[in-house]
Amino acid sequence: MVSSPFKLLLGAAFAATALLDIAIAGDCSNGPFAPMMMIGMRDPETHEGVVPFCSTLHDVGVPVTGLDVWYDTDEGVNAIQIQYANGDRHGIFGVPGSSPQHQSIDWEYSKTFVDSFSLWGNGGGAKLGNIRMVLTDGREFDVGNRHDTRSKKTEFPVDVGAGVMLGFAGWGSNDIKQGNALFLKSQIDHITMTDPVFDDSPENLNAQQKGIELQIVDSYDHQNDLNTTINWSFETTVDVHTSVSTTTSVTKTYGVAVSVTWEASILAFSVGGGVEMSYEYSETNEKVETKEEDISRTITEGEEREE
C-alpha cells in the first residue's frame, strides 16, 4: 500500500474492497488538468467514514479507456471502477452492494475522445447522483438516478479540454459521496522549432575549412616525345557516399502524438523533417552520388603534363 496523508476508514458497511488499496495512484490536485469541480455531498471531509480517493496515471502518460459504474436509479452512483490504456483497473471505489444497475463502457484512446461529460448531485446534497458522457463516436453513457427529477434540476457540465480522460477523483464510503472527472486541459498539435543553435557558426566552419578535404580522383602521367602535337584523354568515375543519421521518436502522450517540425542548413547542406516525441530509434539514410570526369588536354611537342 502506498502511504499517503489520506487514511482509509474501513467499517462493516465499508468493505476492504470498497476503495482501491492504492488510494492515491497519482496526484489529482496537480497535473495537466482542465478546470475541475466536485459534485455531490457538501463538505464530505466533515463526515465520519468518508474518505478521499484519487485515480490517475497522468504522470506516466496513460489515459482512461473505460468506466464501470454501479448505481441505483432512485439513489444515484454507488461505485465506480476506472480502466486505463495499459490494462490497469483502479477501484472499485465505493461499494457495489446490492446495486440493481451496472453499466460499463470502453473506447480506443487513439481514435475516440470524450465529447461531453456532465455530473449531477442526487438532489439532496448527499451523494453523486448521475454521470453522463458522450463520446466522439456517438455513443452515450448515462448512469445514475436519471429518473429522479430532483437530481436532473442542475446539470454540471465538466470541461473536457482535449477530450482525453486522465482519471477520476472524489470521496466515498459505502457509495460515491462526491465525484470529479479529470481531463487533459488542452491538446498539443505540433511544436515548431526555429533558429537552432550550433556549436559553431557556418562562417567559422567555412573559414576553417572544417569537413572539407581535397580528394584526388585519379592521376595519369603522359609525356610527348614525338615531334608532333598529340591529343589525349582519360575518363574516371567515383562514387561519393554521403551518410546522414537522423534520430526520430514518438510519444503518444495521453493518446495524442506530439509532432515537432525542424529544419536547419549548415555548410550549404540542408536538413529538414518532422520529429515525433519517445520510442526512440535511429535511422540512417544513405545517398549515393556518382561524379563523372571527362578530362581532355592538348600537349605540345616536348611538354610533360600531369593531371
Spell out the domains of the chain, with CATH numbers in brackets: 39-183 (2.100.10.30), 190-306 (no CATH)
Task: Write down the pLDDT at residue 269.
Answer: 36
Share of the chain above pLDDT 70, in %: 49
Mean pLDDT of 155-165: 91
Give pLDDT, residue 148: 55
Task: Quick: pLDDT tens for 38-93.
Answer: 999 988 888 888 999 999 998 888 889 999 999 988 889 999 999 998 899 998 99
What CA–CA distance (Å, rounded) separates 104 from 144? 12
- 3-state SS record for 198-265: CCCCHHHHHHHCCCCCCCCCCCCEEECCCCCCEEEEEEEEEEEEEEEEEEEECCEECCEECEEEEEEE
pLDDT tens figures, 132-158: 999 999 999 999 986 556 555 688 999
Helices (H), the chain: 202-208
| Nearest partner of 93 among 25, 163, 140, judged by Cα | 25
* Contact assessment for residue 66 and residue 57, using Cβ atoms and an 8 Å cutoff: no
Scanning the structure block, which residue is given the C-alpha cell 525542424? 262
Residue 60 CB coordination number (10 Å): 9
Nearest to 62 by CA among 40, 34, 93, 31: 31
Kindly state the average pLDDT of the residues 100-124: 90
Count Cβ neighbours within 10 Å for each residue of 123-145 and write b for 16 or more, e otherwise: beebbbbbbbbbbeeeeebebbb
Fill in the amino acid letter for 233. S
Cβ–Cβ < 8 Å for 158, 118: yes
3-state secondary structure of 148: coil
Q: Which comes out higher in pLDDT, residue 190 or 2?
A: 190
Q: Is 294 helix (H, G, I), strand (E, B) or coil?
A: strand
For residue 70, report the phi and psi dihedrals to the nearest 5 degrees. Answer: -105, 135
More confident residue, 222 or 264: 222
